[in-house]
A and B are shown apart, each in its own frame.
Chain A
Amino acid sequence: MNKQYTIGVSSGLFGAAQPEERIAYAGISQKAFYGALKGVEFTQIDLESVTEFKEPGLQEKIKRLKQLGIRFGIHGESYAMGGREVPLRLDSAIMDDYKRSHERLLDSLKGAGEIGAEYFLLHASESLPFLLLWREFQPFDLVDIWGRPFKDFLEQEKDWVFDWILNQDFIKNMRDIPDMGYFKQRIMERMMLQGKKEFSEKDLKDIELKAKEEVKEHIMRLVSSNTQTYGAERLAYYITAKWMERNKDPLWINIAGENNTIEDKEFREKHEDKWVPAVASKYIWGHFNPETCPSGQIYDDPKQLLEIYKLYFVFETGMAMKGYEKLMRLSRPLHMIYLSKQIPSKYFGVTMDFEHMLGADIDPEQEIKEIPDGMASFVKVLHLGWPISLQPAHMPIPAGSDQQLYIYKRLYELRKKGFKSGYLIFERGGGKDPIQKSIGVLRKIVEYLEKDTPPDKLPDDFFGVGETSMHSFRRQWNIVFEHAFDPLKGLITHPEEEHTFLGKAALGRGKRPEEWKKEELR
């Protein structure tokens, strides 16, 4: 029977390594080899910079590694890996971010594909949470979901969009978005300067029409200018939300809810966890579907790279830094599943990282419950470790622990919803022994997962204390036997059985104690 699940470990970071260990993390080829030493055949390479793909002789090195049977995936760049910038902001509506991110995405996928990575993983969103944009100084040079200048999008949607904008106080309240009254007054003042003293009803109607035009011109100028203001991106998000809503976009329906509208103050303000992920997803979707741009494709299509290299692109919940919990633009795996579903390629999927989910205030158990039956098949990768909300923890999973059982229960639930195969990656932390028994624990999890053993029916073996387990009764008994008389240590007249009964005989025959220690349990 083919193995349904591949167990792997993450490689670790050059930037986080001690100086004497750095050689082991000096580039992709070195990182890829890490798993080979940890009892697995798969390594998730933690890409610290897209420039790592430029490593001299990389292809040749990778070729040799593959000959050794080493497989790997790539964890794409992340703000969490250090540096002062979020490297890829696929959910951004800022022109420069969009452009830079798309190019970097293509470079990353190309690099990953060329070396034969099996998946490329990216934190779905690491951008500043929407709620905090009001204090972020941003340019008004916005783009739509395909990366077009936002004015093109407005032009395309002019039939409704300006009227709509002018009727939404929450947009008009944004800085630099003046209201109609201002423009009307300006027109009237101009007319009075030309000698007009009285305004008929017709004049007022003309003024109204003219003001609309001026507002429209003003907005069009604004969204393609380098004018900076606080939270300019919000304008694109609000308008895109309405656009999605009007078009009954599947992402809006699935994520924000079909009957919800951005115009509803309560929904807008209290459910940023619904409509913001929907818009963020749409922007990400835009990066992967450039060919659908109504005014013609602007950017290269990353999907083609995935197809060429048979490379999976998997979205993962980003690591929410303190204060960003609940606020991340796209953090729920369920939303990412919907997003993956909407991208017309089989190479899209989701990574579930219980640590990141807990850190983003997402209950994995509840999240899995909400995944529609069968749709857990979009889950391609599991990042596993001691499940904890404080991060980055990346703590080992102890054998026979509550943590082991917790992970099993979630995977079992996922399996029931379609997660029949995938990568189970232990994301390592630091220290002398960052993995400990985690791989053994994952193997047990896989063993019983593949047997479809319900959590309440797990035997002692699962917990490492079965008849033939690594911490079996017999093995522990051997140790207990060896140390059975340790409480009597320090006795003077009776010999201490430091090296067990047999050990005494061994020592008597000239065996050195340390040699005997190595041999005794063989």
Chain B
Amino acid sequence: MVEIIYPVGPLPAVKNAPPGFRMLPGEGINAAPFEAEKILDLTVPFGQGSGLVEGLIFQLGRWGYESTKMYESIEVSPQFTEYYNKVIGEKSRIGAEIKNAFMSVSKAVEDFELLEHDVRKYKEYLDYFQEWKKAQAEEDKEAEKRAMHTIRAMFVDTIDIHTGEGVSLRSIAPRWSTIIADFLALSDEDDTPEKIQKKIGITKAEAVILTTKNKLFKEWRDKLFFPTVKSRYKNLKTLLEARRRSIKEYIDDLRPLISRYKAIKEIRETPEGRAMLNRIAWFHPHAQAMSIDTYEIWAWKPFVVEEVFKAPRESYDTYTLKEAGFNQDEIKELKKQGKKDIPALPVKPIVDKWVRKIIEQIEDPIKGYGVKITTMDIYNVVKELNEHYLHPLRTAQQTGTKMGFRWPYSPYFVFVQLPVMRTVIKSPDGSLFEDIWIQPMKAYNSTQNIIIGRLLEVTARNKKAEQDISLFIGESAKVGNIVKKTQDILEQTYPEIYAEEKKQKIPKKQVTEKVEKTKDIVKDLREKIAKFVDSFGIKLMIAYPGPYEKLMQQRMTKMMQRAPGIAFRDIDLWLKKAGGVPSSVQIEYR
């Protein structure tokens, strides 16, 4: 089960963050106002609950939020037959379809391999004939002889041998020890015993035998073997290419199937999910028709702290890769991809230690997604964010139509987190109702680095889905807990064979890593000092020279947290209203 811990901060305002995930002032913000956190449970007639959530998602877009869904899973009780068949039954059906598709792929691959085997063999012969024909055209007798040598040898070993004891060249070689060599030395023009005797200097008896054998060889080669090899190679090659194409088609057809299959994720797939279902008091899947589906809605948009006099701020179109926080290896990697700089975001460095901390967790094969976040993934996320700050016509899509308003150029975001549990219950009388349980409904003030982390998790989720497909179709394999591409496994296992052309470089100890480590030590020291002083009741804040807001007491609580608070209020009100909660019971936000 994925469990990414996002850094919390700044300290000391947020105290309950786990060690190692506490951001100091200036390093970033990821904190929800105390008021912007609640449980919302709306029980509504069947159909309304889904509409409510879907409606909110559309509404969030109108308010300028980008949104996505995360951590989907479902449970349908078998008693809920029609729904069960549609969801879980569908999953089984897709599973069977995948199996069949795999059989097709397997068959196609098998056919391909067999064909390839045959083509290789025919090609080998055809190569000799090609060499022979070329030598003939160039009137190069030596080359002609060389090319024919193998064909002649083949004739001796596989064809003539059947002419029997005392007749085949192989069987008479013991008494004419040079007869095979003599036969190999013949050419097409050697068609009489006299010519052969003169050419090789052998007895008449041997020359007579060789004359016959040479004639047999020519007839076999020109009337049977060569024409057959020629036409069969053509046929086989055509079949092979067709089969190659069909394998690709079959595999490509598999991808959406697998994706669909994996998309139906059952809550019971994980121990935590099973524990949860067992714990819920009202959930009686075998006695009553009910279903639960869970997911988390993430929505984010930047905000600007309202100030009377806003300090002018210089903005850039791009940053150098170094400015953006990439290390030397990452820069090299990006340059290989043709990226010399990166679209600018309000704050640099874009890739700071917290972004790296999140990436580290995402890449973790047990608690994370077990996928590699590449520099290009980071680049793409940054580019995507950047485009929201641009005039619509300057974006990659270059269209003037864009949902919501143009984002203010700010590194501070409202990040809304809505973990939804939607329950559908069919009561024994046949009536249906839905329950939308959101716990905790929360709105954060998150800085640019945290949002980048969130977007990288979204990227990882997508990559994981592709990786699952890739595992399914064998392009990747799991080695322990780590998923590796099959080609990479081969290169690691047999580097001299599969990575022959790649120079295996031992990565240098990163200087930047050292620097990061030193910074961590200093930070830990600061935290310890702050904690120690705090125990005496003295509030101590050591500001980190980061790019984000540092004045906690003065600006954070008084000004910055208003934005997530207001956002939370708007969403809360919208949901309640849509859920039909009477206004009299609604809490008024001040």
Contacts and interface: CB of A to CB of B under 8 A. Distances in A.
A476 B167 contact: yes
Given A402-B206, A476-B212, A488-B121, A481 B224 contact: yes
A438 to B, nearest CB: 10
Contacts of B122: 488
Contacts of A436: 165-166
Contacts of B165: 436
Contacts of A460: 193, 208, 211-212
A456 B204 contact: yes
Which of B117, B125, B167 has the most chain A CB atoms inside 10 A of its CB?
A: B167
A483 B236 contact: no
Nearest to B122: A488
Nearest to B202: A402
A466 to B, nearest CB: 9
Nearest to B161: A483
Contacts of A403: 175
Interface in B203-244: 203-206, 208-209, 211-212, 215-216, 219-220, 224-225, 228-229, 232, 236, 239
A458 B204 contact: yes
B159 A483 contact: yes
Given A480-B219, A487-B125, A398 B175 contact: yes
Interface in B109-141: 111, 114-115, 117-118, 121-122, 125
B208 A398 contact: no
Contact of B118 (A400, A464, A481, A494): A494
A437 interface: yes
A401 B172 contact: yes
Given A402-B176, A476-B216, A477-B216, A492 B117 contact: yes
A174 interface: no
A404 interface: yes
Given A401-B172, A437-B166, A473-B215, A487 B154 contact: yes
A491 interface: yes
Contacts of B193: 460
A465 B212 contact: yes
A486 interface: yes
Contacts of B236: 493-494
Nearest to A433: B165
A376 interface: no
Interface string B132-168: 0000000000000000000000100011101111110
A482 B224 CA distance: 11
A399 interface: yes
A458 B176 CA distance: 20
B158 A487 contact: yes
A399 B166 contact: yes
Given A492-B114, A493-B111, A402 B209 contact: no
A400 B224 contact: no
B205 A463 contact: yes
Nearest to B114: A492
A251 B448 CA distance: 131
Nearest to A484: B224
B68 to A, nearest CB: 49
A240 B204 CA distance: 49
Nearest to B193: A460
A490 interface: yes
Contacts of A471: 163, 167, 212
A473 B212 contact: yes
A137 interface: no
Interface in A481-522: 481-494
A484 B220 contact: yes
Given A399-B167, A402-B205, A483-B162, A493 B118 contact: yes
Nearest to A481: B224
B214 to A, nearest CB: 11
A398 B172 contact: yes
Nearest to B125: A487
B208 A400 contact: yes
A465 to B, nearest CB: 4
Contacts of A487: 125, 154, 158-159, 225
A394 to B, nearest CB: 15
A386 to B, nearest CB: 8
A328 interface: no
Nearest to A470: B167
Contacts of B208: 400, 460, 463, 465
Given A485-B225, A493-B239, A401 B158 contact: no
Interface string A259-278: 00000000000000000000
B212 A405 contact: no
Given A484-B159, A490-B121, A401 B175 contact: yes
A460 B208 CA distance: 6
Which of B163, B193, B206 has the most chain A CB atoms inside 10 A of its CB?
A: B163
A480 B220 contact: yes
Nearest to A472: B212
Contacts of A437: 166
A292 B11 CA distance: 148
A492 B158 CA distance: 18
Nearest to B232: A494
A327 to B, nearest CB: 30
A491 B118 contact: yes
B218 to A, nearest CB: 11
A437 B215 CA distance: 23
Interface string B38-63: 00000000000000000000000000
A209 interface: no
Interface in B303-345: none
A479 interface: yes
A507 B211 CA distance: 35
A389 B559 CA distance: 120
B179 to A, nearest CB: 10
A402 B159 contact: no
Nearest to A437: B166
B209 A400 contact: yes
Contacts of A491: 117-118, 121
B184 to A, nearest CB: 16
A480 B205 contact: no
Contacts of B204: 405, 456, 458
Contacts of A493: 111, 114-115, 118, 236, 239
A405 B172 contact: no
A15 to B, nearest CB: 28
A485 B167 contact: no
Contacts of B215: 473
Nearest to A386: B175
Contact of A486 (B158, B163, B175, B203): B158
A479 B163 contact: yes
Nearest to A491: B118
Given A460-B208, A465-B208, A480 B166 contact: no
A440 to B, nearest CB: 10
Contacts of B121: 488, 490-491
Given A398-B166, A480-B219, A491-B121, A485 B212 contact: no
Contacts of B164: 479
Nearest to A460: B208
B146 to A, nearest CB: 18
Contacts of A485: 224-225, 228
Nearest to A475: B163
Contacts of B125: 487
Contacts of A488: 121-122, 228-229, 232
B232 A480 contact: no
B162 A479 contact: yes
Given A405-B205, A480-B162, A484-B228, 17 more contacts: A401-B172, A402-B175, A402-B205, A405-B204, A456-B204, A463-B205, A463-B208, A465-B208, A471-B163, A471-B167, A471-B212, A473-B216, A479-B164, A483-B159, A487-B158, A487-B159, A494-B232
11 contacts: A398-B172, A401-B176, A460-B211, A480-B220, A482-B162, A483-B159, A485-B228, A487-B159, A488-B229, A491-B117, A493-B239
4 closest Cβ pairs, A-B complex: A484-B224, A492-B114, A465-B212, A463-B208
